[in-house]
Amino acid sequence: MSQDAQTIHISEYVRLDKRERSAKWQARVKLADGSWHRFSTKTEDVNRATDIAMKFFYTAEDRAKNNLPQSTRKFKRVAEFARDRMQEELDAGGGHIVFKDYITAIDKYLVPYFGGHDVSSIDAKALVDFGKWRTEKLGRKAHHSTINTHNTALNRVLDEAEQRGWITHAIRPKPINDGIKTKSRGSFTREEYRMIYEELREFHKLTDKPITSGTREVLRNYVLILANTGMRHGTEALDLKWKNLLWLREDDQTYLGLYVDGKTGQRPLVARDRAIRPFERQVEMNPKLKDMSLNDVLEAKLDDYVFVTPLGQRVARANLSRNFEKLLEKLGLVYGADGKKRTLYSWRHFYATLDLQRGVSTHVLSRQMGNSTGVLDRFYSKLSPFMNPGLHSGRDLRNEQLERRNTAAMQEQESLLAEPDLVTAKLSRTDQAPALSAAAKAFDLFDAGKLSESALLIALGVSRAGYDPSEELRLRALMAFEAERLSEDGLTRVLGG
């Protein structure tokens, strides 16, 4: 305290201070951890101030005996500490990009509601009331992913409070999530993809507004890059810089690689070859990169954003979304046949669906897209039967069987022509019915419900040494699994896993 301040020692643990420019007494109470807790008594009367200070001291002692924090802080103040900590990590180039979402949740939702509460007073009932307030604010029930973001932001504030001794773990509430479960977004067919990229070639010419025209030129490249990389629309794509791109060389092949910063941190991915030309156009339209090629830009490791308009401005996310929606309206593609609305995020689903259709495993795809295999299974692996008509109609199987028969017949004919003596032997045989393999018969009985899965596996000999399933057997197992007759474990064993 300054020389002009007045101090009264009530006891070893309690003091009263009065500053030069204040008529009211401020109390200082020493807590069990040795720190001093300061607060205003809001009174000029020394006796009244003493009573208030001593009451706080005895209350703090009782709270300590019951494993409760001796002092607390307003939620707003604690949230500021948590917010500043995340912002400092972002400014230093560390942390996760998702910290931005947590900071937004703190500023727009948590502080406006909990700001005036003591952080130690937040309990399960307070969280339920907050959920009702959020629903009123949004005008609808929040999505599961939104509430998950809010809960994580809240936990960071509570972590800060617990570390500073303003709450104890025993009284810390557990956030709840009763939000609307996220559903898979609408996607596009290959034909719709073609319609969109062809329309985008001239879409920027349909406006005389320079900013809109520039946004649409970027939109053309943006759509093709999203559709051919699988990265997330928004922060993940729009934060991409030229220094994040590189050429990957393997043997005599060259591929375009990228590093993106997403929800799970930075991850590498490989772009399809069809994404290279859109990146080249982004170089060509950027006035700052005049006379430079894509190779020049990648070699220079420029710390500049990729998605910049011909005006030299970083494209705005809202402008991209708005113009893409206008494009879909023009083409009549806002909603798919399944009734789901399509957005720029739908290109991520489009990318995943096509890769899964090509036979890419969810494990490999998860590395590229930054999702767990569980998420991919829930949202992306439900391939539409319309995208595999040959498989679901049975034509692929029939055509494969017919092709095998024709190949076998041709081979036999070539053998007979090469060895005339075999022709006589062949003609001397009596007609016989085509042989039916034990595996095929076992599957027929299984499909008819006359054979259990365990019996099927025994009949196929999946446990025998040297077991090697034919392509036909693999296909029948996959079809049985798709029809939900064969379990995933059974499928794995049939396929030789």
The amino acid that residue 341 corresponds to is: K
Residue with tokens 């931005």: 100
User: For residues 17 and 3, what is the distance between their CA atoms, to the nearest angstrom?
Assistant: 12
Residues 371-376: contacts with CB under 8 Å, at least 24 apart: 376/352
Residue with tokens 């070699």: 299
Which secondary structure element, helix H or strand E, spans residue 276, and what is its range? Answer: helix 276-285
Q: What is the pLDDT along the chain (497 residues), one digit of tens a residue?
A: 445 678 888 888 888 888 877 888 888 888 777 777 777 888 888 888 888 888 877 676 666 665 555 455 789 989 998 999 999 888 887 777 788 889 999 999 999 999 988 888 888 999 999 999 999 999 988 888 889 899 999 999 999 888 877 777 877 888 888 877 655 567 888 899 999 999 999 999 999 999 999 999 999 999 999 999 988 898 889 999 999 999 998 888 899 999 988 666 678 888 999 999 999 999 999 999 988 999 999 999 999 999 999 999 999 999 999 999 999 999 999 988 778 889 998 888 888 877 777 666 666 666 676 656 555 555 554 444 444 445 444 555 555 556 666 666 566 555 545 555 544 444 444 444 344 477 888 888 888 777 888 888 888 888 787 788 887 888 888 877 777 778 877 888 888 75
DSSP category for residue 106: I
- The torsion defined by the Cα of 146, 150, 153 and 157, in degrees rounded to 10, comes to 180
Buried b / exposed e over 140-161, threshold 16 CB at 10 Å, is eebeeebbebbbebbbbbbebb
**What was the pLDDT predicted at 377?**
58
**What was the pLDDT predicted at 348?**
85
Q: Which of 461, 451, 459 is nearest to 486 (CA)?
A: 451
User: For residues 133 and 339, what is the distance between their CA atoms, to the nearest angstrom?
Assistant: 31
User: For residues 340 and 183, what is the distance between their CA atoms, to the nearest angstrom?
Assistant: 10
Q: Which of 149, 141, 224 is nearest to 188 (CA)?
A: 224
User: For residues 392 and 484, what is the distance between their CA atoms, to the nearest angstrom?
Assistant: 14
Query: How far from 106 is each of 110, 114, 124, 150, 154, CA to CA, in Å?
Result: 5, 10, 18, 8, 8
What are the start-end ranges of the H helices in 97-173? Answer: 99-105, 111-114, 124-138, 144-163
Cβ of 244: how many Cβ atoms within 10 Å?
18
The number of CA neighbours under 13 Å toward the Cβ of 435 is 3
DSSP string spanning 158-184? HHHHHHTTSS-GGGPPPP---PBPP-P
User: For residues 104 and 113, what is the distance between their CA atoms, to the nearest angstrom?
Assistant: 14
Q: Which of 103, 217, 94 is nearest to 152 (CA)?
A: 103
Q: Is the dihedral of CA 219, 222, 228, 232 positive or negative?
A: negative
User: For residues 21 and 347, what is the distance between their CA atoms, to the nearest angstrom?
Assistant: 64
User: For residues 334 and 82, what is the distance between their CA atoms, to the nearest angstrom?
Assistant: 41
Cβ of 391: how many Cβ atoms within 10 Å?
17
Residue 36 three-state SS = strand
- What is the token pair recorded at 482? 């798709």
User: For residues 176 and 260, what is the distance between their CA atoms, to the nearest angstrom?
Assistant: 31
User: For residues 301 and 242, what is the distance between their CA atoms, to the nearest angstrom?
Assistant: 6
User: For residues 148 and 176, what is the distance between their CA atoms, to the nearest angstrom?
Assistant: 9
User: For residues 492 and 457, what is the distance between their CA atoms, to the nearest angstrom?
Assistant: 11
DSSP category for residue 434: P
Which secondary structure element, helix H or strand E, spans residue 245, and what is its range? Answer: strand 245-250
Distance from chain centroid for Cα 228: 17
Q: Which of 226, 467, 454, 241 is nearest to 347 (CA)?
A: 226
User: For residues 405 and 391, what is the distance between their CA atoms, to the nearest angstrom?
Assistant: 19
User: For residues 61 and 230, what is the distance between their CA atoms, to the nearest angstrom?
Assistant: 58
**What was the pLDDT predicted at 31?**
75
